[in-house]
Amino acid sequence: MRELFHEISSTLRNNKLRTALTGFAVSWGIFLLIALLGAGNGLMNSFVGNIEDYISQNITVEGWRTSKPYAGYKEGRDIQLDESDVLFTESEQWKGIIHDVYRGTGVTSVSLSLNGLSVSGALRGVMPDYKEAEKMRMYTGRFLNPDDVDERRKVIVISLYQAKELSPKDPDAILGRWIAAGAISYRVVGIYHTDESEMSRLCPIPFSTYKGIYDNTDKVESISFSVTGPETLEEHEAFEKLYGTAIRLRHDIAPDDRRGIWINNGYTDNLEMNKASRMINIALWILGILTLISGIVGVSNIMLITVKERTHEFGIRKAIGAKPGEILKLIIAESITITAAFGYIGMFLGMVACQIMDKTVAQRSIDIGGEKIQMLVNPTVGLDVALEATLLLIIAGTIAGAIPAWKAARVKPIEALRAD
């Protein structure tokens, strides 16, 4: 083995241009693949991350306006959900499937003010699990808890944006303070993280508090719940149809009138998104493999020329006693050495490129509709993927070397000696 290595290293040293060209093809292929996959991963992380903020893991039902005439009613009728719909949703009929039902109230716009500074806010009565369902991230303090709802406390959670507006010098200091929301004062118990989008006007207050002050009826603006059972897209759609038909018929709405009662299914959105990210991933790999193929073609091309060029040399080696297997071994070992060494260099540089992307492009964000979006999030490739890709190239390089090597090994020495 050491002898073989010595033989190869002397050959490579004495054929520097050839070695460099082959090496470049290999390094470049791996480098591009890893940089591409890294950028792709970054793009996908950003895509998934940005969308996940909007997708909640539950189903929300809201009354809108009918778009079809049904049961003697004309279209264009406003639909209002109420407590009976909540009871229907919680009924035995859906036992084991629907749980964690909670009522969503409407939104009341108010002006929040503190020490002469003010900012607009949208009060909404919610239950404590609203935070999980809407994927809210707390900046400081806490979210609403069951006691807040039970005791109808006058507490409020505001956005970091609002906190900064009300207390520009020290947003954190607003925690625990009483602020005015219209005519009523609330104590701030938490501040949540936001971008500067419209969403950040939302101020959750306990559901019971809201009902008591702003909406003293049995009307419900929305009903949200989670489900267990349906897994696939088809199962979710089937459930949605079953539930949707039932609740629409309660209000004399056509079963397929999606605008009469709107059902927003976070699960199917999620499934759709997973599908989308899988497709991006597949597309990336296809691009990557095509890149890799160009590297492999480069290697095989050079190996082919190399073997042709060295036919005479192989003839000499055979004349003085090299067996066909030995010629084969020499070429393949040489090809593996080149692809492995330069593949490693390409892999290393590719990972460096990913790190550079992470430190530069990934730190920048662009503004879309008032919202900051990072184009690339963590644009790196796992070491396992990098090693796999390098291994793939080494195997391909071996095969690329093996075909011409096999031909060279089979040439009769007398013919090989005649070659120039």
Partner 1 sequence: MLIELKGIHKTYDNGQPLHVLKGIDLNIEKGEFVSIMGASGSGKSTLLNILGILDNYDEGTYHLGGTLIKDLSERQSADYRNRMIGFVFQSFNLISFKTAVENVELPLYYQGVGRKKRHDMAMEYLEKLGLTQWASHFPNEMSGGQKQRVAIARALITKPQIILADEPTGALDSKTSVEVMQLLKQLNQEEGLTIIVVTHEGGVANETDKIIHIKDGIIGEIEENRSHSAWGGSIIK
Residues that bind partner 1 (CB under 8 A): 3, 6-7, 10-11, 14-15, 312-313, 315-326, 410, 412-414, 417
What's the CA gap between 166 and 113, in Å, rounded? 7
Question: Minimum distance from CB of 6 to partner 1 (Å)?
Answer: 7
Question: Minimum distance from CB of 405 to partner 1 (Å)?
Answer: 14
Question: Minimum distance from CB of 13 to partner 1 (Å)?
Answer: 8
Q: Is the dihedral of CA 146, 135, 62, 160 positive or negative?
A: positive
Q: Which is nearer to partner 1, 319 or 403 (CB)?
A: 319
Q: Which is nearer to partner 1, 132 or 326 (CB)?
A: 326
Nearest in space to 127 (alpha carbons), one of 139, 144, 107: 144
Q: Which is nearer to partner 1, 389 or 416 (CB)?
A: 416
Q: Which is nearer to partner 1, 282 or 414 (CB)?
A: 414
Question: Minimum distance from CB of 299 to partner 1 (Å)?
Answer: 21
What's the CA gap between 119 and 133, in Å, rounded? 26
Question: Minimum distance from CB of 362 to partner 1 (Å)?
Answer: 47
What's the CA gap between 419 and 181, in Å, rounded? 94
Question: Minimum distance from CB of 22 to partner 1 (Å)?
Answer: 16
Question: Minimum distance from CB of 18 to partner 1 (Å)?
Answer: 11
Question: Minimum distance from CB of 410 to partner 1 (Å)?
Answer: 8
What's the CA gap between 272 and 247, in Å, rounded? 25
Q: Which is nearer to partner 1, 106 or 324 (CB)?
A: 324
Q: Which is nearer to partner 1, 13 or 169 (CB)?
A: 13
Q: Which is nearer to partner 1, 247 or 411 (CB)?
A: 411
Tell me the three-class secondary structure of the chain, residue by residue: CHHHHHHHHHHHHCCHHHHHHHHHHHHHHHHHHHHHHHHHHHHHHHHHHHHHCCCCCCEEEEECECCCCECCECCCCECCEEHHHHHHHHCHHHCCCEEEEEEECCEEEEEEEECCEEEEEEEEEECCCHHHHCCCCEEEECCCCHHHHHCCCCEEEEEHHHHHHHCCCCHHHHCCCEEEECCEEEEEEEEECCCCCHHHHEEEEEHHHHHHHHCCCCEECEEEEEECCCCCHHHHHHHHHHHHHHHHHHCCCCCCCCCCEEEEEHHHHHHHHHHHHHHHHHHHHHHHHHHHHHHHHHHHHHHHHHHHHCHHHHHHHHHCCCCHHHHHHHHHHHHHHHHHHHHHHHHHHHHHHHHHHHHCHHHCEEEECCEEEECCCCCCCCHHHHHHHHHHHHHHHHHHHHHHHHHHHHCCHHHHHHCC
Q: Which is nearer to partner 1, 383 or 414 (CB)?
A: 414
Q: Which is nearer to partner 1, 14 or 115 (CB)?
A: 14
Question: Minimum distance from CB of 278 to partner 1 (Å)?
Answer: 51
Contact 342, 302 (CB under 8 A): no
Question: Minimum distance from CB of 414 to partner 1 (Å)?
Answer: 4
Q: Which is nearer to partner 1, 193 or 410 (CB)?
A: 410
